């Protein structure tokens, strides 16, 4: 059952998530408030643009971020629903956007980083064929909290989907319940040592870290930093 209702994630309701239907699985879209009239949409999902208007001011400025090559199909809907939008993605995803949509001028996500508030950062994941991008948002919650929006690399599934094709797909790629590194992502990492060094600098253990995966439930537990370190080392060392 798809939960297409927008739910606040943080105490201040600056982050909302809603689920949408896709060809393989039912991912989540994450809406992040940047300022009173500016928002970042991480993995803009099909069927969610109209309901998002209830959370947004009139005529907002939206940054539509396609966080991987497989998360581009909702962009046109969102771009058509709002007057002020900027589409951003990695180099790999920008090629996919131009091939699969009518959007001809998606911007490089890295070029937008400097214009974001200091507490919101775009992390272009190095050396991966899927063109994945993470976003972090730091708040003062619980003495310092970092929310991490991640795409196809890390999942936190509570069930293995419905339908024979989906179940076969999940089984083939070794997906299971709980936090996992997706094998499609790990097999697409071109330089494992480079990724290992980069990823080891995320999820600092002196902060509360909260995972907001496109695929699966929010993971908010004290052991997230430790769990991520174990997963990264076991998959890329």
Query: Could you give the CA distance from residue 236 to residue 66 in angstroms, rounded to a whole number?
Result: 25
Q: Is residue 106, in this structure, part of any structural domain at all?
A: yes
- The answer to whether residue 69 is domain-embedded is yes
**192-199 vs 224-236: helix axis angle to the nearest 10?**
170
Classify residue 201: in a domain, yes or no: yes
Answer whether residue 104 is part of any domain: yes
Residues comprising the chain, all counted: 237
Closest CA to 176 of 163, 159, 152: 159
- As for how many domains the chain has, the answer is 1
Query: Which whole number is the average pLDDT over 22-47?
Result: 93
CB–CB of 201/141 below 8 Å? no
Enclosing domain of residue 62: 7-236
pTM of the model: 0.93
Residue 2 placed within a domain: no
**Across all residues in the chain, what is the average pLDDT?**
92
The reply to whether 1 falls in a domain is: no
Rg, C-alpha atoms of the chain = 17
The 10s digit of each residue's pLDDT in 135-194 is: 999 999 888 999 999 999 999 987 666 566 666 666 666 667 789 998 889 999 999 999
The share of the chain scoring above pLDDT 90, in percent, equals 81
Query: Confidence class of residue 237 from pLDDT cuts 50, 70 and 90?
Result: confident
63 within a domain of the structure (yes/no): yes
- Quick check: is 115 in a domain? yes
CATH no. for residue 15?
3.60.15.10
């Amino acid at each position: 059952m798809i939960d297409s209702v927008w739910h606040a994630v943080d105490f201040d309701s600056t982050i909302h998530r809603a689920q949408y239907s896709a060809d393989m699985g039912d991912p989540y879209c994450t809406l992040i408030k940047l300022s009173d009239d500016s928002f970042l949409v991480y993995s803009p999902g099909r069927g969610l643009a109209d309901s998002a208007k209830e959370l947004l001011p009139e005529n907002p400025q939206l940054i539509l971020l396609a966080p991987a090559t497989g998360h581009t199909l909702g962009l046109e809907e969102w771009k058509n629903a709002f007057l002020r939008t900027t589409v951003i993605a990695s180099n790999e995803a920008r090629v996919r956007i131009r091939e699969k949509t009518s959007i001809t001028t998606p911007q490089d996500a890295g070029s937008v980083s400097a214009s974001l508030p200091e507490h919101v950062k775009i992390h272009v994941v190095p050396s991966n064929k899927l063109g994945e991008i993470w976003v972090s948002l730091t708040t003062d919650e619980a003495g310092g909290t970092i929310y991490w929006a991640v795409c196809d690399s890390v999942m936190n599934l509570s069930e293995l989907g419905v339908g024979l094709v989906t179940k076969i797909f999940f089984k083939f790629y070794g997906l299971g319940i709980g936090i996992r590194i997706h094998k499609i992502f790990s097999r697409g990492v071109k330089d494992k040592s480079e990724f290992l060094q980069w990823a080891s600098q995320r999820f600092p253990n002196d902060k509360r870290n909260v995972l907001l995966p496109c695929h699966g439930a929010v993971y908010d537990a004290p052991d997230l930093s430790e769990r991520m370190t174990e997963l990264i080392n076991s998959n890329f060392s």
